[in-house]
Amino acid sequence: MIRFGANLWSATVTHLRCWGNGLTSAVILAGDAIGAARAPGGIAANAGALLASPEKQRRLFDVLRVFAPNLSTRRKLAASYDNSGTVVVSRRADVLEVLARDADFEVVYESRMRQLTDGDNFFLGMQPGWAYTRDTSAMRLAARRTDVAEIVLPQAQTLAAQRVRDSGGRLDSPQALTRHVPWDMTARYFGVGGPDAATMQDWTTTQFWYLFGDLGADPVLEAKALADAAALRAYLDGAIAARKSDPTAAPDLLNRCLALQAAGVPGMTDLGIRNNLLGLLIGAIPTISKACCLALDELFRHPQALCRAMTAAREGDDATLAASLWEALRFNPHNPVIYRRAVRDCVIAQSTLRRMRVKKGQIVFAATQSAMFDRSAFQAPNDFLIDRPFGDYIIWGTGMHTCFGAAINEALIPAILKPVLAQQGLGRAVGPSGQIDTGETPFPQHFTVTFDPV
């Protein structure tokens, strides 16, 4: 009886705090909207700025979790993929439910993935079945988990330290570090780094944007993405042919794939190898670079957390450093939502007051950022804490379509940022250069930090 009373009291307090957060955020957002309406150009010209920052996005999700946890609308927020409307899911339990129900909520990327490969799908855009099992199983034989510690991580640590050391105390993070280290991995470990670093970085960034971020279906972006995809395909076809005619002993993915081909492994034709490498390349460079910049940017917003991370970097406390970065990415994730499409009429949050019927064809935005701030599942969600279980984070997705390179991401991001955070006098550069500049893309192009020269 005492335990029941304690649980009832705890649940009541949690619900009251959720309502308090929701009401507070609603008032703040309303004030922001009034300010935007009074600014030059009115609400139409300033609407985008209302939700531009992660903090404002979190406030919106605070409101939704309380007042409309599962919100359905006929409006098509994702024009890039065929759909009949939109559902926004904000509670952690419901987000996880959507991402676990592959038979009801499909990945939508197939149509654009086929555009990039000029015909075939890539396992990122596949539903459960033989093709998905064949391709992911073969690529996991090529990309061995042990490679991360044995091959990928040592080179990343060496290169990151060198890049920071050579910067002279002023580092434009994306240009000099966060894009270069993952590119170097594609050259050395994937075996297909492109004609040069800048070209491969540009190709992969544009195509990642086209696949995952182009909700408005921008025809200019599509034209560039398809042109870049054609160039990338030609490069990969040439690289595969060249390696077959002039074999090497390098322990890279290209050689591993060709060995699987020689052994008769299904799916490892030249075309299959090319498409799998194309998909992995698209996901590698932009994701790692953006996550590094966002994590560092967020640490600068939390001075105590920054100090703790810097101490951990200097003392070689890799566990504390990594935990600080994952918590920073909870506050400022590289991808705040994951979207799926309903393949049939179905129900989410069954047997709850927030029960929602999703119609066939609706795109479901599973708000992973919101899920990581759901007070009903997270202790002190608004506090920057580094003792949270890693499984509580949804940084790389979850379920069947968890990021294929999650293990690489988890190793490379701390390795890239460790030598930066170990520097004395670390801070943002003065002026606009010390803020993330995405240019005309959703990805950091410039973000300069300074520190005492080595």
Question: Shortest CA distance to 115 belongs to which of 199, 194, 191, 217?
Answer: 217
**Band (261; pLDDT cuts 50, 70, 90):** very high
The pLDDT of residue 4 is: 46
Q: Give me the mean pLDDT over the 108-115 stretch.
A: 94
Is residue 177 very low, low, confident or very high in pLDDT (cuts 50, 70, 90)? very high
Q: Which residue has the higher pLDDT, 11 or 128?
A: 128
Predicted confidence (pLDDT) at residue 9 exceeds the cutoff of 80:
no
pLDDT at 15: 63
Query: Residue 399: pLDDT above 90?
Result: no
Give per-residue pLDDT as tens, 185-233.
999 999 999 999 999 999 999 999 999 999 999 999 999 999 999 999 9
Q: How does pLDDT run across 356-384, given as a tens digit for each residue?
A: 999 999 999 999 999 999 998 888 999 99
Q: Which of 81-90, 198-207, 351-360, 397-406 has the lowest mean pLDDT?
A: 397-406
Sheet holding 70-73, edge to edge: 70-73, 86-89, 363-366, 338-342, 105-106
Specify whether the CB–CB gap between 274 and 237 falls below 8 A: yes
Location of structure tokens 């010209």: 45
Whether the full predicted model's pTM is greater than 0.85, yes or no, is: yes
Kindly state the percentage of the chain with pLDDT values over 70. Answer: 95
Query: Of 75, 168, 114, 87, which Cα lies nearest the Cα of 349?
Result: 87
Task: Give me the residue spans of the domains in the chain.
Answer: 1-50, 69-419
Instruction: Look at 125-139, 188-202, 341-355, 429-443 and tell me which has the smallest mean pLDDT.
Output: 125-139
Angle at 333 between CA 62 and CA 14, to 5 degrees: 30
Average pLDDT for residues 314-326, to the nearest whole number? 98
Which numeric CATH code is attached to 69-419? 1.10.630.10
Better-predicted residue by pLDDT, 42 or 259: 259
Contact 98, 105 (CB under 8 A): yes
